[in-house]
Amino acid sequence: MLNALVIGLTMIAAPSVEVTVTPMRGETVVGTLVDVNTRQVVIGTTAGERTFESSQLLGVEPTAAAVGPVPRSEKVDTVVTLVDGSVLHARQYAVSRGRATVVLLDDSEVTVSTRAIGHVRMMAVSPATRTQWEQVVASPRQSDAIVIRKTAEAAEGSDPGTAQVALDAPEGVLGEIDEASVRFELDDTPVSVSRRKVQGVIYYHRTTSTPRDPICRLSDASGSHWYVRSLKFEADEMSGITVSGVRFSMPLAKVTMLDYSVGNIGYLSDLPRESVVWKPRRNIVVTPSAERWFGPKFDTGRYGSVLKLDDEAYEKGLALHSYAEVTYRLTKRYRSLLARVGVDDESRYEADLELRIFGDNREIFSRRIKGQDEPFDLELDMAGIRRLKIVVDYGGDNSERGDNLNLCNARLTK
């Protein structure tokens, strides 16, 4: 009896949090968060409890915004990037015996095996060093690397007192890291590098398996992003495990978004392309400049402009000029292909084209589209399909004039 009373009082005392739930289909729903777990989200509404399967969600967002501005990564001194893509904004980073202690901006602490860490940036970046850092991180390597920041006086004719910054990334074996130094083994020789000279460190990992898909990406008030494989809501705390196996916990008040689209949606503009083809109507030599001008565009409109339909701008999508082919080899199983389709705003009343879509070399959609036609919503069954090809062909006028088709928010859903 006493236990039941305690539980009841706890439930009464627990603050209710209002959230907005956006499903992949249907209208958004506002209610009080009741439960979150790996499989589903439950909210309370005036009409009763509503349950949403994780696989059918786009996002869950607290209605009350987090207090204060969210820090941007380039302004944060210490940024830890896990191998699963999670990005942690931190104020301290130290390593001992292969275990990293990461103190986050809110002074909470997580312990991470270095096997789960891709790279760590230990200094904020300027526009110049940001580009260099991104290039160094993307470079192939066969061992760990320590990224050293070197400065030199500016070239003759530059502003007096300015210095040029260059990043050097010797390879070796990373060791202990503390507030003063980074231990590093270079050519079998142990060295200790002052941390003031270290822009960051990069951990080498031999890829042996395909990583699991996250169920969602959790964003918090510090600007960190956690790609999670499991999630739990209990006693006003959100806890979970990232895809790379890092455990974390935080007050629900610090959660700014649960983005389920990362696990449930693959935008065509983000997926690897097996082939991208553009061929002009006339039998002419295709120059690089012509291909850049007329070839398929991803996340931009024709000729690099904003992707638009009916004067509404879209961040994601494809812009295809006839004749074009884009082919994907799908490594994951998807249920549907969705897009908002129409002729680019600047080509209305000129275009005459045909959109053809193939699944495993079988035509699953075909439609002639003219410039005056209104945009439409496309939805195709993709169950079992492993190869997708999208073709924009010439229409009835047998001409490419004005044949600029936009597939806005083109995405594959699970």
**Strand-pair partners of 92:** 103
Determine the pLDDT at residue 399. Answer: 80
pLDDT one digit per residue (tens) for the chain, 414 residues: 333 333 333 333 345 789 999 998 889 999 999 999 999 999 999 999 999 999 889 999 998 765 567 777 778 889 999 999 999 999 999 999 999 999 999 899 999 999 999 999 999 888 878 889 999 999 999 999 999 998 865 555 555 545 588 999 999 999 999 999 999 999 999 999 999 999 999 999 987 666 678 999 999 999 999 999 999 999 889 999 999 999 999 999 899 999 998 888 999 999 999 999 988 876 666 667 666 778 899 999 877 788 989 889 999 999 999 999 999 999 888 999 999 999 998 877 788 999 999 999 999 999 999 988 999 999 999 999 999 999 999 988 878 888 899 999 999 998
Determine the pLDDT at residue 9. Answer: 32
Tally of CA atoms within 13 A in the half-sphere of 155 that contains its CB:
0
Determine the pLDDT at residue 3. Answer: 38
- Burial letters 99-135, b for 16+ CB under 10 A, else e: ebebebbeeeebebebebbbbbbbbbbeeebeebbee
Q: Is 179 exposed, middle or buried (0-12, 13-18, 19+ CB in 10 A)?
A: exposed
* CA 236 – CA 45 distance, rounded (Å): 19
Kindly tell me the sign of the dihedral angle through the C-alpha atoms of 307, 310, 311, 314.
Answer: negative
Kindly tell me the sign of the dihedral angle through the C-alpha atoms of 306, 309, 312, 316.
Answer: negative
**Contact criterion met (CB below 8 Å) for 144 and 174:** yes
Determine the pLDDT at residue 20. Answer: 95
Q: How far is C-alpha 210 from the chain's CA centre?
A: 17
pLDDT tens per residue, range 248-299 = 999 998 999 999 988 889 999 999 999 999 888 766 666 676 667 788 999 9
Q: Which domains does the chain have, with CATH numbers?
A: 2-62 (2.30.30.100), 73-202 (no CATH), 268-413 (2.60.120.1060)
* CA 32 – CA 43 distance, rounded (Å): 5
Task: Please report which helix (H) or strand (E) contains residue 406, including its range.
Answer: strand 404-413
Determine the pLDDT at residue 232. Answer: 94
What DSSP string runs through 239-278? EEEETTS-EEEEEGGGEEEEETHHHHEEETTTSPPSEEEE
Q: How many other CB atoms are there within 10 angstroms of residue 84's CB atom?
A: 19
Determine the pLDDT at residue 14. Answer: 45
Determine the pLDDT at residue 10. Answer: 36
Determine the pLDDT at residue 306. Answer: 87
Mean confidence (pLDDT) of the chain = 88
